[in-house]
Amino acid sequence: MPDCIFCKIIAQTIPSPLIYEDEKCVAFADIHPKDKTHLLIVPREHIPTVADANGEQEPLLGHLITTGKKLAQMLNLSGYKLQFNVGKEGGQEVFHIHLHLIGH
């Protein structure tokens, strides 16, 4: 999506160091961290919100969660939050699905 900031980060037309990447998703630091660790785990596929995801995309959503778990283990986080904000009223500001990994 040409106007999507996360698509631009994935394509690295906006440079942002990727902490993790695989064939389905990437992870990078949130620009306004809410805790010592605050990463965004973002699918390469542009889907605006969790509410827009269809059945075929269910494994992709699961992949984001297990990637969050792996990154948390890699970073030695003993406890953490994995959070999707869904829709404007749900606090979502960037309309490309992303999973927040927040912890310390």
98 catalytically annotated: yes
Interface with ligand 5GP (CB under 6 A), residue total: 13
Binding Zn ion by CB under 5 A: which of 27, 41, 42, 96? 96
> How far is Cα 1 from Cα 23, in angstroms, rounded to an integer?
18
Contacting residue, 10, 92, 99, 102, with ligand 5GP by CB under 6 A? 92
Q: What is the DSSP string of 5-58?
A: HHHHHHHTSS---EEEE-SSEEEEE-SS-SSSEEEEEEESS--S-GGG--GGGH
Would you say 24 or 104 has its CB closer to Zn ion?
A: 24
Count residues near Zn ion (CB under 5 A). 6
| Segment interacting with ligand 5GP, rule: CB under 6 A, options 42-50, 54-62, 63-71, 84-92 | 84-92
Q: CA torsion sign, 17 to 1 to 87 to 69?
A: negative
Residues 18-77 that bind ligand 5GP (CB under 6 A): 28-32, 40
**Helix (H), strand (E) at residue 74:** helix 58-74
Active site residues: 98
